[in-house]
Amino acid sequence: MKTYKKYFKITASPADVYNALTNKTIIEIWTGEDAVMEDTPGTEFSMWEESINGLNLEFEKDHKIVQEWYFGEEDEEKKSIVTIKLHPDKKGTIMEVNQTNIPDDAYRNIAEGWEEDYYKGLNELFEE
C-alpha cells in the first residue's frame, strides 16, 4: 500500500474551493459528470460515473474534508483515506491532498487523477 501527498495552488478562496469539492451542482460543472455528494459525515458519495466512490467522514467548512474511498470490493484492504486541507494563500488557496492506503496497482492512476482531473478541473473552473 502507498501514500500520496501533494500541495496544489488554486486561484480561488478556500471557501470557493471547499464549495467546489462539496456542492453536487458545482462538482458536476467542473467534472462534466453526474455526482452524488453532500457535506454531511456518514453520507456516501460518487464522482466521475462512480469511478470514485466512498464515504464522507469529516467536514470542517472551508478548511478540511476527510473521505474514505473504495477500490473494487468494499473490504478493509480496499479502502483508502483521503484528507484534503485548504490553506489560505496570497493568491488563493493551497490545497493539501493526503491519501493513504492506496493499493500498489492503483497508485499511478490515483496520482494522475489528482493532477489531471482534480487539479486541472478546479483550475479551469476558477479561470473562467
- CATH superfamily name and code, 2-127: START domain (3.30.530.20)
| Domain extent listing, the chain | 2-127
pLDDT at 73 (0 to 100): 59
pLDDT at 128 (0 to 100): 61
- First-to-last alpha carbon distance for the chain, in angstroms, is 38
pLDDT at 72 (0 to 100): 65
Residues 17/10, Cβ–Cβ less than 8 Å: yes
pLDDT at 51 (0 to 100): 84
| pLDDT tens, N- to C-terminus, the chain (128 residues) | 999 999 999 999 999 999 999 999 999 999 999 999 999 999 999 998 888 999 999 999 999 999 999 876 555 557 899 999 999 999 999 999 999 999 898 899 999 999 999 999 999 999 86
pLDDT at 49 (0 to 100): 82
- pTM (2 decimals)? 0.93
Side-chain half-sphere CA neighbours of 16 within 13 A: 14
Q: Name the residue among 121, 124, 104, 52 with its Cα closest to residue 82.
A: 52
